[in-house]
Amino acid sequence: MAGETAGRVAGKVALVTGGASGIGRGCAEKLAAEGATVVLTDIQDELGREAASGIAAAGGRAEYARHDVTDEDAWASVVAGIKARHGRLDILVNNAGIGIGGSILDMSLADWRRQTAINLDGVFLGVKHSIPLMRESGGGGSIVNMSSVAGLKGSANLAGYCATKGGVRLFTKSVALECANARDGIRVNSVHPGLIETPIWITVQAAITPGANAMPDLDAMSAMAVPMGVKGVPEDIANGVLWLCSDEARYVTGMEMVIDGGLTLR
Ligand X SMILES: NC(=O)c1ccc[n+]([C@@H]2O[C@H](COP(=O)([O-])OP(=O)(O)OC[C@H]3O[C@@H](n4cnc5c(N)ncnc54)[C@H](O)[C@@H]3O)[C@@H](O)[C@H]2O)c1
Binding to ligand X in span 202-221, by CB under 6 A:
none
Cβ–Cβ under 8 Å, residues 134 and 89 = yes
Among residues 13, 82, 100, 196, which is the contact residue for ligand X, using CB under 6 A? 196
Neighbours of 116 (CB within 10 A): 17
74, 38, 45, 43: which is closest to 238 by C-alpha?
Answer: 38
Check binding of 69 to ligand X (CB under 6 A): yes
Is the Cα dihedral 5, 13, 146, 183 positive or negative? negative
Segment near ligand X (CB under 6 A); pick from 54-62, 68-76, 175-183, 242-250: 68-76
Cβ–Cβ under 8 Å, residues 212 and 171 = no
If the CB atoms of residues 135 and 169 are measured against ligand X, the closer one turns out to be 169
How far apart, in whole angstroms, are the C-alpha atoms of residue 83 and residue 190? 25
Cβ 34 to ligand X, closest distance in Å?
A: 19
First to last CA, the chain: 38
Helices (H), the chain: 22-33, 45-57, 72-86, 109-116, 122-137, 159-182, 201-204, 218-225, 234-245
Check binding of 17 to ligand X (CB under 6 A): yes
Check binding of 146 to ligand X (CB under 6 A): yes
Check binding of 148 to ligand X (CB under 6 A): yes
Catalytic residue check, 64: no
Check binding of 96 to ligand X (CB under 6 A): yes
Check binding of 166 to ligand X (CB under 6 A): no
Binding to ligand X in span 37-56, by CB under 6 A:
42-44
Check binding of 115 to ligand X (CB under 6 A): no
Catalytic residue, from 75, 161, 171, 201: name it: 161
What residues are labeled active site?
A: 161
Q: Where do contacts with ligand X occur on this chain (CB under 6 A)?
A: 17-18, 20-24, 42-44, 67-70, 95-99, 118, 146, 148, 193, 195-196, 198-200
